Amino acid sequence: MKHLSIARAIACLVILTMLALPGPVTKAFAAEKAQTFDLKKVSLLDIDIPPSSRYMVMAPHYAPGILTSKSPKDDNVKAYPKLKSDKPLYGHLLLGSSYTISDSRNKKMFFVLDESKGTGKGYDTITVDANFDNDLTNDKAVNIAKKSPLDFMNSGSRNNTLLFDSLKIKPQGQELTIWPLVVKYNNDMFRVGFFCENAYVGKIKLIGKTKDVLVTQSQCISIAFDSPATHIFFMNKDRYSSVVAGQYHLADGMYWTFAPSENGDKLAVNPYMGKLGKLKLSCGDLNVNASNVTLTSSASYLRVDANSGFLKDSTLTLPVGKYKISGVSLIAGDYDVRLANYSDDSTAAFPLEITADKTIDLDIKSLKAVFNAPAKDNVKIKNNSMYVSAYFCNPKLGVKLSSIQDKSKVVREVKSGNGTYKYYERLEPAVKIFDSTGKEIAQGKMPFG
């Protein structure tokens, strides 16, 4: 059976071109030097965090996956405590590992949830391997907190979230205070997270401007504060902004990186003084306004939006290096176009190499329709039907087209307290299928996603 490529259902073209610059953005930044600032240890419970930023700053680090009563014990655990429930919840938290960045020193922290009053009476105790010896029999169980000192839960989750008393853990040199919590989805589906209250505050300078910063282990608890997943919050009056230690920060026309000390009491601030490249986004003859571009490298997670000054006239300026495209969002004429990461066996881990000695062109028009189902020489027809899926992609550069919407055609409007949200008509590729004689046997739309 032969497949034809997806029909030309896309009326736009996005070209991403990298151009090299010889050095930093302007000569004025040449005087900027790396500096290290002292920070003071605090508890997040004592910080007056703006309501709009409270959940972000006090966000817990969740254990992987959804736990059920059928979740198995971990073979790495030497022993669990004697339990009252016939359906305990076993799990672990991977310290130092977040959605975007991982610390090579990551470590598992095992735990088990029990029902002290018996099976079916509700999970009300949790035992955590606080000393990291893989033996939970020498760790003290903690109970549901009688009074919550935390306000990190949004209104939609308070009724189905249980907060437990705090406990101390020592994954490496510094002792951390963490608060376990359990989110209940139904009678046998649970998500377990941990909030770390340890933090450091201080003042730093970026291009002569003093900024108040808060260093936390929000969203990702690590064995030490020098983890690339540690969060640095800029303590603006009404709303905090943040960057992780393993991520470039864009401020005042310059890239910066931050390196907390192991104990968190110092913060090194480093201006990026290396070479820069340019990534230009265009769409044929249409005017293009890029909203944001997200890239990931082996050492950093980089999100550049239109307000940063580094995404101007549809041109992105960024440090040289190897990246993978995590996402691109742009408006081209009447079209909302989205690109996403794509990988297969032929794609390198970081396929987009930005260098100063060559130009990389990524032309959406040149993206090929790659079919991943049915597999080659393995066409299966069941009940006179066949499942077909494909991507508009470039495996070598690790990018795919993920959606196109026509903003000139509104199909639905939803009003909320924040205004009216509009849903636009989606452009979907079409596919035709022919048999070995060339006869067309099927055709139809193949929606993105």
Higher pLDDT: 246 or 265? It is 265
Whether 1 shows a pLDDT value over 50: the answer reads: no
Q: Which of 14-23, 61-70, 279-288 comes out lowest in average pLDDT?
A: 14-23
Average pLDDT of 288-293? 76
Residue 306 confidence (pLDDT):
66
pLDDT band at 185 (very low <50, low <70, confident <90, very high): confident
CA nearest neighbour of 325 among 290, 275, 371, 374: 290
Residue 18 confidence (pLDDT):
31
Q: How far apart are CA 359 and CA 348, in angstroms?
A: 19
Higher pLDDT: 203 or 291? It is 203
Average pLDDT of 407-422? 84
Mean pLDDT of the chain: 81
Whether 6 shows a pLDDT value over 50: the answer reads: no
Average pLDDT of 230-248? 86
Residue 104 confidence (pLDDT):
67
Average pLDDT of 404-427? 87
Average pLDDT of 337-354? 85
Please give the angle made by the CA atoms of 342, 346 and 347, to the nearest 5 degrees: 40
Are 222 and 215 in contact, with CB atoms under 8 Å apart?
Answer: no
Higher pLDDT: 37 or 242? It is 37
Q: Could you check whether the bond before residue 374 is cis, i.e. omega within 30 degrees of 0?
A: yes
Higher pLDDT: 343 or 291? It is 343
Average pLDDT of 353-363? 74
Whether 12 shows a pLDDT value over 70: the answer reads: no
Residue 254 confidence (pLDDT):
82
Percent of the chain exceeding pLDDT 70 equals 84
Assigned token pair, 374:
């049915």
CA nearest neighbour of 132 among 165, 172, 102, 167: 172
Q: How far apart are CA 387 and CA 402, in angstroms?
A: 19
Higher pLDDT: 187 or 10? It is 187
Average pLDDT of 126-153? 86
Residue 236 confidence (pLDDT):
87
The predicted-structure confidence for 19-65, as pLDDT tens digits, reads as follows: 333 333 444 455 678 899 999 999 999 998 888 888 888 889 999 88
Average pLDDT of 142-153? 74
Higher pLDDT: 322 or 127? It is 127
Residue 296 confidence (pLDDT):
79
Average pLDDT of 264-293? 83
Residue 103 confidence (pLDDT):
63
